[in-house]
Amino acid sequence: MTSRDEQKALTRARILDAAVDLLIEIGYAAVSTLAVQRAARVSRGALLHHFPTMHVLTEAMVAHLVERNEAAVRQSLAKLPEALDPVSRAVTALYGALVHPAFQAELELWAAARTDDELRAALRHAERGADRDLYRVVDDAFGEAPRHHPNYRQVADLTVVLLRGLAISRPLHATDASARRVIEDWSALARRLLETPSAASVAAGGRASAPGLLAAAPSPALGKPTKIARS
């Protein structure tokens, strides 16, 4: 890469950093190309060279937010004890990232897209790649062993939906206490869904793979199967 290419890459990164910081600080409604230009301290020509329209800038902002969100997951994981079981560790770290300012800013874009056709089109295109990146990060958070379980994909999907819902409702609560209780409950249920059958049950003729999400799960209180029904 030439020094000129490096300079272009640095200018583009500075513009994106400024745009995302503005989105987090003042909200999408107040973000404009002029505001981004001033915050990044670049010329109008430099801004338009990299991002000729707000549509193009918005798509790039989503990708940049995804990078920040991924970094937030890594930071959350690094702070948690290694001895914590993989499911609790993954769910807790993912929630920590989803209440991070970068993800809250991404949620704001989703809300604004309801009445903004151009923004909605930009987000639909950008979020295809963002979803792939999200599930890659989710897989990394859970670790290798749970990913081989037949119930894993359903658990991962439900984890994402649950945590997004908690993140959306977070501004309405004074503390994280209720969210933490939900996280503990879901972690406990997810662990049961990802349990590997014992060697004894396999030797007795049971299947080596665990049953699906709607199959009977043992009840700790009664010692009898309890249906996990769809809500």
Q: What does the angle CA 222 – CA 224 – CA 225 come to, to the nearest 5 degrees?
A: 130
Tens-digit pLDDT profile for residues 176-203: 899 999 999 999 999 999 985 533 334 4
| Residue 102, SS3 per DSSP | helix
**pLDDT at position 196:** 56
Separation CA 70–CA 94 (nearest Å): 9
Tens-digit pLDDT profile for residues 50-109: 999 888 998 898 888 888 888 888 898 899 998 889 999 999 999 988 888 888 888 888
pLDDT of 31 above 50? yes
pLDDT of 205 above 80? no
**pLDDT at position 197:** 55
Provide the 8-state DSSP code for 133.
H
Separation CA 105–CA 38 (nearest Å): 20
Closest C-alpha among 102, 21, 20 to residue 68? 102
pLDDT of 170 above 90? no
| 210-215-219-223 Cα dihedral, nearest 10 degrees | -80
Q: What DSSP letter does each residue of 67-95 carry, written as one string?
A: HHHHHHHHHHHHHS-TTS-HHHHHHHHHH
pLDDT of 215 above 60? no
How many contiguous H segments (helices) and E segments (strands) does the chain have? Answer: 11, 2
Confidence of residue 42 (pLDDT cuts 50, 70, 90): very high
Beta bridge partners of 216: 227
Q: What DSSP letter does each residue of 157-224 carry, written as one string?
A: HHHHHHHHHHHHHGGG-SSSHHHHHHHHHHHHHHHHHTPPPPHHHHHTT--SSPP-TTSEEE-TTTSS
Tell the CATH topology of 1-52. Answer: Arc Repressor Mutant, subunit A (1.10.10)
| Residue 143, SS3 per DSSP | coil
**pLDDT at position 69:** 87
**pLDDT at position 1:** 63
Mean pLDDT, range 31-44, rounded to an integer: 94
Tens-digit pLDDT profile for residues 124-165: 887 777 788 888 889 999 998 899 999 999 999 999 999 999
